[in-house]
Structure 1
Amino acid sequence: MLSRIALRSAAARQSATTALVARGSASDVAGVRDEKNFPRPVRGEPGKVRLGFVPEEWFQFFHSKTGVTGPYTFGVGLATYLFSKEIYVLEHEYYTGLSIFLMVYYATTKFGPKIAAWLDKEVDAVESNWNEGRVQNIKDLEQAIEEEKTAQWRAQGQELLIQAKKENVLLQLEAAYRERMMNAYTEVKRRLDYQLEKSNVERRLAQKAMVDWVVSNVTKAITPDQEKQAIDRCIADLSALAAKH
């Protein structure tokens, strides 16, 4: 009976695992695996048992109806019934089996934990060896993602640098434009100043020539008598002024 139940549960687990693997493979082929709807298969762990071989579910079944002692009472009553009705005869094979059971029980309690720990360690080592490639692949992909993010950040920095260079070029063009405008202003002002100074010089020369011409002509027009009369008049005016003071 127990062997049938164990075989059925193992077959159910195997079929469920196969279905999960098939669905997971289909999703992997399509693209990124859907971990939520198609989780990865997990290594199955044996259920809890009592007395070394009786499943915990049997005790839970009795516990809801008969309490804690129900399963043990059922087992003892069933054994008593089988023995009293000689359905199960206590022949010499029974005592041989009882002796073997005691030896197995002693070996299990004595060496069982150590063997179980060693087997668990071996199983974990095999599982870690199987997962090592996948974990390393995941790490490599995560590192590639980080490097891609860094490259994108650097590309954004290059865009900012190019923008700054464009602004610098525009500033240089503006400075060159202003410098040329200042040069043009300076040259135009210098030429205008030259024309103004030229006009001033020509006007002064004309005035000087006109004054010289007027003086020379007036001097030529004055006779010696007129010059003597003008001098006498000036002397008279000076004397009159001196008398007043």
Structure 2
Amino acid sequence: MLSRVALRTVAARQSASTALVARGSSSGARDEQNFPRPVRGEPGKVRLGFIPEEWFQLFHSKTGVTGPYTFGVGLATYLCSKEIYVMEHEFYSGLSIFIMVYVAAKKFGPPLAKYLDKEVDAVESEWNEGRQQTITTLEESIAAEKKSQWQAAGQELLVQAKKENVLLQLEAAYRERLMTAYNEVKRRLDYQLQKATLERNLSQKHMVDWIVSNVNKSITPDQEKATLDRCIADLSAMAARQK
């Protein structure tokens, strides 16, 4: 019965994880929340070279800061006093080996750790180099796409400016044609005015010539002689008055 329940639980978890993976793959993006990227683990803090920090934190809430050390010393004293841990000749050999290992760790440990950390960082950077190159390529592609969009927006502005330029040219051509029509109408009206003025002057001149010729024709030689004599007499009278 328990095995059936366990199998059902495992199957349910697998189906849920499959659904999450399918959901992430359908959207085309990595599910960073349910499936985060693996991160290289760092070793935790230790005391005395080999005892984890968590063991000391377990005693702090109940015994204080000196509790873990008191517990360790008391436990070692109890084991040695009750001869649960027998100190035979192998113990002293192990103690001497521990001292040599401790001295070697203190002397050669930091340079070796620095060298190993450097090697690990080099391997990690080599692994991440391809990923970083891909990210850089994608960022450059995004920047190029944004630049293309900006250039496309500039093309729209250029097209709009060209449309306005065409409208200005049409307006200039329209005004030029209006001015041409105005000048042509004015020229024709001036022509009609000059024509009417010339016809009126010719008519007046013709009328004056006609009247003068008719008047000259209506004057007889006797009337002309009498008029000439009268003029001479008037001139003689005016000359006599001036004297």
Q: TM-score range by the shorter chain?
A: 0.7 to 0.9
TM-score by length of 1: 0.82
What is the rounded CA distance, in whole Å, between the counterparts of 1:23 and 1:121 in structure 2? 38
Structure 1 residue aligned with 2:58? 61
Task: Give me the whole-angstrom Cα distance separating, in 1, the residues matched to 2:146 and 2:192.
Answer: 69
Match of 2:126 among 126, 129, 144: 129
Paired residue for 2:157?
160
Distance 1:221 1:143 in 2: 114
Query: Which residue in the other structure is 1:83 paired with?
Result: 80
The equivalent residue for 2:168 is 171
Structure 1 CA distance, aligned partners of 2:177 and 2:50?
102
Report the number of matched residues.
225
Aligned partner of 1:30 in structure 2 is 27
* Larger relative contact order (CA 8 Å, sep ≥ 6): 1
Q: Summarize deviations over 1:15-43 as a string: whole Å, max 9, x none.
A: xxxxx9x9789636632345567543321
Which residue number in structure 2 is paired with residue 225 of structure 1? 222
1:209 corresponds to which of 206, 209, 213: 206
Q: Structure 1 residues 122 and 110 mapped into 2: Cα distance closer, same or farther (>3 Å)?
A: same
Q: How does 1:162-201 map to 2 (within 5 A)?
A: 162-201=159-198
Counterpart selection for 1:234 from 218, 223, 231: 231
Q: Unaligned regions of 5+ residues in structure 1, if any?
A: 1-19
Q: Which amino acid aligns with 2:233?
A: A
> Structure 2: where are the runs of 5+ without partners?
1-16
Q: Say what the alpha-carbon RMSD is for the aligned residues.
A: 2.5
* Contact 1:82/1:88, CA 8 A, preserved across alignment: yes
For structure 1, which segment, 49-58 or 24-33, has the greater mean C-alpha deviation from structure 2 after superposition?
Answer: 24-33
Return the offset for 1:178. Answer: 1.1
Identical aligned pairs, as a percentage?
Answer: 74
Could you give the per-residue CA deviations for residues 50-99 of structure 1, whole angstroms, max 9, x where no partner exists? Answer: 12211111112223322332222211211111112111111222222212
Structure 2 length normalisation: TM-score?
0.82
- Is the Cα–Cα contact under 8 Å of residues 23 and 38 in structure 1 kept in the other structure? no
- SS of alignment partner, residue 132 of structure 2: helix
Alpha-carbon deviation of 1:168? Answer: 1.1
CA distance in 1: counterparts of 2:20 and 2:112, whole angstroms: 36
Deviation at 1:201, TM superposition (A): 1.7
